[in-house]
Amino acid sequence: MEYHPASEINVVVEEYLNMCVETKNNGLCKEEKETVDATGLPRIEKAYSTVLSELGEDVDREGLLRTPLRAAKAMQFFTKGYKETIQDILNDAIFDENHEEMVIVKDIDLFSLCEHHLVPFFGRAHIAYLPNKKVVGLSKLARIVEIYSRRLQVQERLTKQIASAISEALEPAGVAVVIEATHMCMVMRGVQKMNASTVTSVMLGTFNDDPKSRKEFLDLTMKK
Ligand SMILES: [Zn+2]
């Protein structure tokens, strides 16, 4: 998201590495601990074991011993957005403010799973809105993207859901959402070149009605 000095990025990398030292937390990394649903886990684990066997793998070989469990936890993490609601995160985060200028957040990283192949697609979201009294902390826009992208998705619906959530929560004069993403299901099957990305957009209110606002948003976000 936006500009990060190198020192800040190092902290993020370090946090991530710590998070995934499995042995520290009974075999669960920190993030997983919050998202794992222990009830469903054994059944998903068993299903992954079946998938591996059916692919001709020996599920008892050393490298695969804990793979079904790891894959099950990872899948629960990738779909943790089902358990989160927009209300939860926006509850105390909306403020009254006499600000009418366009608010833009560029380059919000997103990681999702395509619902047709269960294979990742990932890229960036750019969001803008024209406040009508209500504003929200910028980091919350990134959280909205996260909640909807950590579900099984198609890119068009993801784009729409983000725009609708902002529209409903802030009742702004306009909302614009653009997502640029690479779909591994297309890249790995050779349908799409490595660096090709799919762009989807949803323009509501002023961004839909007024070409000037739309152009301003696109000029500010899509410039390489
Ligand atoms: Zn796909």
Q: How far is the CA of 163 from the centre of ligand 1 (A)?
A: 22
Q: How far is the CA of 3 from the centre of ligand 1 (A)?
A: 31
Q: How far is the CA of 97 from the centre of ligand 1 (A)?
A: 41
Residue 1: count of CB within 10 angstroms of its CB = 15
Nearest CA to 52 out of 30, 28, 70, 34 is that of 70
- Cα dihedral 138→141→143→147 (10° resolution): 180
List of domains in the chain? 6-82 (no CATH), 85-222 (3.30.1130.10)
pLDDT at residue 24 in the model: 46
Where the chain has pLDDT below 50, the residues are: 1-13, 16-17, 19, 21-26
Calculate Rg over the CA atoms of the chain.
20
Q: How far is the CA of 108 from the centre of ligand 1 (A)?
A: 21
Ligand 1 is a single-atom ion; what residues have CB below 5 A from it? 114, 116-117, 185
Q: How far is the CA of 184 from the centre of ligand 1 (A)?
A: 7
Q: Which residues contact 193 (CB under 8 A, 6 or more apart)?
A: 187
Inter-residue contact 88 to 129 (CB < 8 Å): no
pLDDT at residue 29 in the model: 62
Q: Which residues are catalytic?
A: 114-117, 155, 183, 185
pLDDT at residue 91 in the model: 81
pLDDT at residue 31 in the model: 61
pLDDT at residue 158 in the model: 98
